[in-house]
Structure 1
Amino acid sequence: MTARSLSLQPSTPPPWHVRPVALCAVGAARILTRLPPRQLRKVMEAARRGARPANEAETLRARNAVVAVSVPCAGPRCLQRSIATALLCRTRGVWPDWVTGVRTQPFRAHAWVEADGKPIGESIDEVKHFHVLISVPDRR
């Protein structure tokens, strides 16, 4: 058995007025990660209602804020990070594509957000190997 090193994703601290909202999004996301997939999809679809599509810059700002205020989101908790990012975007009236998927060789599950068809804060080369299981896209 080999030890896995934990690397945290880099981020720049958000403005002070964004931090409380980002922390609330992270807390809500932590609760939502406990839902079964079907219920989680319904909650995310309900949260998306009435939002306009998020662009890359808006989504990246939200993701950076989430990563900056939460060590678990900066580390291995991709589901919580992606949910929190989408919820933080929603507080600004926008919605990115929220996506979860799996790969089989080697088996891994992952969750991420996309804007304008591109994964935000993720390697395109890695994400392309995942088979999408759940997607809550923006309403273009």
Structure 2
Amino acid sequence: MSIPIGSFKTLRPTQPERLGLHVALTVSRGMSRMKPSVLHNVLGKYAGVVDKMGDRSVDAPRAERAHAALCHLSPRCASHEACFVRSLALFLYLRPLGRNISWHAGFRTDPFLGHAWIQVDSHPISEALEVSQFIETMRVH
């Protein structure tokens, strides 16, 4: 979905992070093949189910650490071309840890580019692109 701009920083994950991120990455690869309407419904239901676990929040440094750990586990996710799978995996991994995580997808027209990202409290996490330039087509809170 993205143009190559370089790669993200990586950080060796802890054992619990490694397991959780591997599961989230595996599931996100399958979800990336879903039709957009189905994907939106599945993510919405997932968010609804994990929100029943309690009212918690994740801070930006925690989300950035998860981003760096995922990029360490998957060299593909460390590239900007993998924003869709990476953002899905991060949403799946982080949402049970906090209700303030949201998943976004959109596009810009000049030059045309699709992109997907996560936000914590309305702030993009580890984004090299200016997401305010994108027209949002999907969002899951």
Q: Give your verdict on TM over 0.5.
A: yes
Q: Is the 8 A contact 1:68 1:74 kept in 2?
A: yes
Question: Secondary structure of the equivalent of 1:73?
Answer: coil
Over the aligned positions, Cα root-mean-square deviation in angstroms equals: 2.0
Deviation at 1:73, TM superposition (A): 1.0
Provide the rounded CA distance (Å) in 2 between the counterparts of 1:102 and 1:53.
28
Structure 1 residue runs of 4 or more that deviate by more than 4 Å after TM superposition: none
Question: Higher relative contact order by CA 8 Å / sep ≥ 6: 1 or 2?
Answer: 2
Provide the rounded CA distance (Å) in 2 between the counterparts of 1:103 and 1:67.
25
Q: For residues 10-44 of structure 1, what are the alpha-carbon distances to aligned partners after superposition, in whole Å with 9 as ceiling and x for unaligned?
A: 12111122112111111110000000100000111
The structure-2 alpha-carbon separation of the partners of 1:93 and 1:54, relative to structure 1 and needing over 3 Å to count, comes to closer
- In the other structure, the counterpart of 1:92 is 97
Count of residues in correspondence between the two structures: 133
Identity %: 29
- In the other structure, the counterpart of 2:108 is 103
**Where does structure 2 lack aligned partners over 5 or more consecutive residues?**
none
**Where does structure 1 lack aligned partners over 5 or more consecutive residues?**
none
The structure-2 alpha-carbon separation of the partners of 1:58 and 1:98, relative to structure 1 and needing over 3 Å to count, comes to same
Question: Secondary structure of the equivalent of 1:27?
Answer: helix
Question: Secondary structure of the equivalent of 2:12?
Answer: coil
- 2:13 counterpart of 1:14: yes
Correspondence for 2:68 among 43, 46, 64: 64
TM-score (norm 1): 0.85
Deviation at 1:58, TM superposition (A): 2.9
1:134 is aligned with what amino acid? M
Q: Is the 8 A contact 2:64 2:125 kept in 1?
A: yes
- In the other structure, the counterpart of 2:30 is 31
1:55 is aligned with what amino acid? D
- In the other structure, the counterpart of 1:80 is 85
